[in-house]
Structure 1
C-alpha cells in the first residue's frame, strides 16, 4: 500500500489539496505499515481534522518513524460514520507531523 504523506498539514482541506497536487505531478507516495487503529465518531473526527497540528492524547512519540523495511509506521484514524481514513506518522512528536489520506 502507498500513500502521499504531507508534512505539517494544518487541516484536512490542506492535506486534500496537497494530495491532489502531488498526484497531478505524478507522485506515487510511500509504502506504509499501520501500527495502531483509532476510530472516532464524526464529531470527534471533524474536530481532529480541522487542526492536524494539535497534540492528540492517542499519539505516542514512538508511533511513527520507519520499520526495518523502510515503510512508514503510522496510525490509521477512521471516521466511524463516513469511513474516511487519515494516516498519521508522528515522527517522535505528540501531534500528526506527517499525514496522508488513505484511499
Structure 2
C-alpha cells in the first residue's frame, strides 16, 4: 500500500490541498503498514483534523518510524460516521508528525 505523506500540517484543509497538488505533480506515495486503528466519532474526528499539531492521548512515543521492510508504521484513524481515514506516522512524537489521507 502507498500513501502521500506530508509533514506538520496544521489541519485537514492544508492536507487536502497538498495531497491534490502532489497528485497533479505525479508524486509517488510511500509504502506503509498499519500498526493499529483508532476509531473516532464524527465530533472527535473533526476536533482531531482541525489541529494536527496537538498531542493525542492515543499516540505513544514508540509509535511510527519504519519497519524492517522500510514501510512507514502508521496509525489508521477512522471517522465512524463517514468512514474517512487518516494515516499518521508520529515518528516518536505524541502528535501526527507525518500524515496522509488514506484512499
One fold, TM greater than 0.5? yes
Structure 1, unmatched stretches of 5+, are: none
Aligned counterpart, 1:84: 84
- Superposed structure 1 runs of 4+ greater than 6 Å apart: none
Query: What is the root-mean-square deviation in Å for CA atoms of aligned residues?
Result: 0.4
- Structure-2 residue corresponding to 1:48: 48
Quick one: distance in 1 between partners of 2:34 and 2:28? 18
Give the TM-score taking structure 1 as reference length: 0.99
1:25-47 deviations in Å (ceiling 9; x for gaps): 10120010000100000000000
How many corresponding residue pairs?
Answer: 103
1:60 corresponding residue in structure 2: 60
For residues 70 and 21 of structure 1, what CA distance do their matches in structure 2 show?
A: 25
TM-score (norm 2): 0.99
